[in-house]
Chain A
């Protein structure tokens, strides 16, 4: 292999020594052997042996990679990818306008980012998706499990119970209307308890825990191979306070993004992130933009921005590889994330001014 020494994944100090000693290609390294290498460079035999192992692995890359089975760098033709995409399912959100805008729902193997001001409904959508990913295939879902990584502490289990109950009820109505064998069989295992037991919840308190959790995800996912959704609620929160070195932050965030893309691709799962908004103060006006800087904008494949228009919640598709930009209204009901109902439905019972940003807890709304 005429692979240059500079392009191999070795430690920088070792690489500098190799360059000083005059080694140029991987072939020369392999021919020198570990004893010769340790003599030339002045390193111990174990280090030389390790370095040669890395070189050998890189040079015989094809056989090593297919043996590992993950196939991360397998080559495909566009035709194979098209067939794969057409066979892939989506995670629906129960809001048909949003599903249509996204081209069917949240796509597997891609990173979707949801940005929005506080209280607009990002965590609600994440909880809805964690329930919706478990819908059985006969009802149009992907029948997977969910991993929920929480950094802000906004995961409320009783709210998930409400959402799950509404979802089960919805499926029961479909089954009763259509009366098919597999629908009834699927419903036996689809209940609120089973939904809750298939959401794996992790709580990360600072950025080190978050990074560790994301880098450990591949092992977890290979043990739980049915996971089809990874939600990280609040990726901005641990990175926004307490960071003096901004270039380190960019470096960590980009490494995190690449690791998430690898995870989404290898395990065929969707990754959903929520981000906060920050203000950019311009010459004459200030605008709300997603937090974490310009380079983070490239990490997500699909970007949704949730915002308010008076008291109506709107979702805008800001970035997508296959859909056009659009804005749709949505609503958050006691049963979860839903479409906007037409105004013929009875308005709210009491006439007092409500804060449109957070749904108040009123006794008569709880089941």
Chain B
């Protein structure tokens, strides 16, 4: 039996989402990203050879109004946090300075690891008084460069604040600190008979504070809704150190302006989230997963329409990937095989149902699928017969970003578009780029969210010029969002006008100025630099 268990563990680990964050052994991007150039003013510029071009039109300079760290500051931090939690060690800093995609690399010299809200408050108060810029950091799994410094901002990592504070077994309200890793919360809740309302490929490393700060979407949004609905309360620390206790656990509370929504999705630019209170759904026993093949995109759409009607309340996920995405996953991921008998299909759809009655749900799903097959919406499909088969189907869909990283350079776009026209963008991109790049499209079809990715062996400015601003303009014309769930971060800090009006952005800037007059929280990100100016 031991041999069996060991082999199973090997198999399971190769499917586990944690492997998504093992540093890829041969990453062409990291070979390029360590070039650091010195600008004439003497400050170390963060730019890398590849990434410099991304900001060709708006090369960022370090804001001279921010102070530079000195030894007094470091001693002060040691006084607040203790020596062990003030980190200047270069290897640790290298990891904290680099984002998951290995695209953005800061040059911070200091990483702080507060353990309590009080420590966060004292740190921020001091930084505000000294005008030291800071970057709030959690699991560092963001995809738009929002979690790493641009220059030498002090990194405040809340990963040490990982206690579960309370859990109400009747209402399902979980109160925990911001540094709790999502997968750990899922395990904790599993023992109680509940689940987290969000699920994403990064669950092995991402932290709930970061999820909330970026309003993470994920695979289950179509069933449980967004964090704006499921988060009941937040405790956050403002730039001046004030602790804002809005950690309510009430389902309904209409007393005044609901300020917690400001912190959900503002990517750490208005305050550091230190505690979260979230409503968790009960864990339902019957989960079924089907992996289906469709011959064209309009079949996928019709399938979505039918699924919402016929599966109704038990539908819990609806994802799609095109043929190129599947091939990428099959070629670059280990231990992954095509669930369907070998044949050329153009699109694949993953449908998951979650309900309380196993046989009823299975019958409902089978009836729906067989009928869809008779109607010609599905050309083939498989239903997972046990949890391991289901995990392997999910591994394919969740592993596409990882496969893209292994394939070379990736231009990643996360767009909200009307479902009818969504895939047209992928096809147009393919026509424009021809053989010079591989264009793939996959995503949360149930939410109207396309992940458009363009894969090339290496980064190339010519290709980038063909992609941007075409993708943003196309999206804007459809009144879509240029960032459905990834956020703006650094990558799209100047792109907000493609999806929001001037007046709206002006108001955002006013709020930012009100809450963070010195602009120390996560500078250079989210809002356009030209709008958020500081004296």
A binds B: no
**Which residues of chain B have a CB within 8 Å of any CB of chain A?**
none
